[in-house]
């Protein structure tokens, strides 16, 4: 089972990883230990692989820093569910292969709840039942089918949807 880490509205990229702990400052090997350093200082030491983060609207506003979601990937976060995402961050999440679902779970689940998330089907199972999370936008599925946008581009030499 995975644990729910519940956050509020407007979790910004400085909340996720403060700029002063970017890999080129804190070190490539340790920067992820500063994830949520100011707003959830216990997070990085306690999060387990597969744990699911849920938040409110406008998750990931702010910087284009890809190392913020990279830190969550290094900590093996299983997915992020929020009713809306900031656009640069949303691209970064999907580019790094971190499952991101546009859905509001904050009214349903409490911090620390035990769940399981099937990232392929988008089915989240919790103590009281299951939730079908919406799939990623159609135009991204072609890339995700190859594993990532980088893998798609390397294989095909073009972007998904672009004429060959």
List residues binding another protein (CB under 8 A). Answer: 10, 12, 14-15, 18-20, 22-25, 27-28, 37-39, 57-58, 61-67, 69-70, 84, 86-88, 91-92, 95-96, 139, 149-150, 153-154, 158-163
Q: What is the dihedral of CA 71, 74, 75, 76, to 10 degrees?
A: 120
- Taking the least distance from each CB to another protein, the nearer of 5 and 90 is 90
Shortest spacing between CB 34 and another protein, in angstroms: 10
Q: What is the dihedral of CA 96, 101, 107, 111, to 10 degrees?
A: -30
43 by Cβ neighbours in 10 Å (0-12 / 13-18 / 19+) ranks as buried
- Taking the least distance from each CB to another protein, the nearer of 17 and 47 is 17
Shortest spacing between CB 71 and another protein, in angstroms: 12
Shortest spacing between CB 150 and another protein, in angstroms: 5
* Listed residue (154, 37, 134) closest to 79, CA to CA: 134
The separation between the first and the last C-alpha atoms of the chain, rounded to the nearest angstrom, is 43
Shortest spacing between CB 112 and another protein, in angstroms: 23
- Taking the least distance from each CB to another protein, the nearer of 44 and 86 is 86
- Taking the least distance from each CB to another protein, the nearer of 145 and 150 is 150
């Amino acid at each position: 089972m995975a644990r729910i880490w519940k956050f509020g509205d407007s979790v910004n990229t400085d909340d996720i990883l403060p700029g002063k702990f970017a890999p080129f400052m804190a070190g490539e090997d340790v920067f992820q230990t500063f994830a949520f350093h100011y707003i959830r200082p216990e997070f990085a030491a306690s999060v387990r692989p597969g744990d699911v983060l849920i938040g409110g609207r406008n998750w990931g506003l702010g910087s284009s820093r890809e190392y913020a979601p990279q830190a969550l990937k290094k900590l093996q976060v299983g997915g992020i569910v929020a009713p809306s995402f900031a656009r640069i961050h949303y691209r970064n999440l999907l580019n790094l292969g971190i499952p991101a679902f546009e859905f509001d779970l904050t009214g349903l689940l409490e911090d620390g709840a035990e769940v399981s998330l099937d990232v392929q089907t988008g089915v989240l199972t919790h103590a009281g039942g299951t939730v079908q999370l919406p799939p990623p936008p159609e135009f991204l599925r072609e890339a995700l089918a190859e594993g990532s946008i980088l893998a798609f581009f390397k294989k095909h030499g073009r972007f998904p949807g672009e004429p060959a």
